[in-house]
Amino acid sequence: MKKIILIILIVSLNSCESVKNALTGKKYESSDEFLIIKKNPLVLPPEFNKLPTPDDPEIKDRQEQVEAEIDNILSKIKTEEMSSEKEKISESKSTEDFVLDQIKN
């Protein structure tokens, strides 16, 4: 009985590749581990000096303030136009009412 168990144990361990490699002390064949790939040196792109430079933050702040003021003025103009249109609509309704009254009479 002990021989059968021993044979089964040996066959099962023999079929397992990683156990077999561990028991025999086999080393992995990995030649890429220490391989170094040389790369080309860095090169400046063509027309490197023509690239745009960063803007001055103070100038940006001034531009943003001017744009905000312009937006403010435009929004005020739009609200004034809307209110004048509402007045015209109310006047036109009263005119319509007048005309309709004249027709009825």
**Tokens coding 64:** 């943003």
- How confident is the model over 32-72, as pLDDT tens digits? 667 777 888 888 888 888 877 777 777 777 888 888 888 88
Q: Let me know how long the chain is.
A: 105
CA Rg, the chain, in Å? 44
**Tokens coding 58:** 């103070």
Asked if residue 7 is part of any domain, the answer here is no
Asked if residue 68 is part of any domain, the answer here is yes
Give the Cα-Cα-Cα angle 101, 95, 103 (nearest 5 degrees). Answer: 25
Asked if residue 25 is part of any domain, the answer here is no
Helix axes 2-15, 17-24, angle to 10 degrees: 100
CA distance 52 to 18: 59
- How confident is the model over 67-86, as pLDDT tens digits? 888 888 888 888 877 777 66
pTM, two decimals, is: 0.29
Range of the domain at 67: 54-105
Domain count within the chain = 1
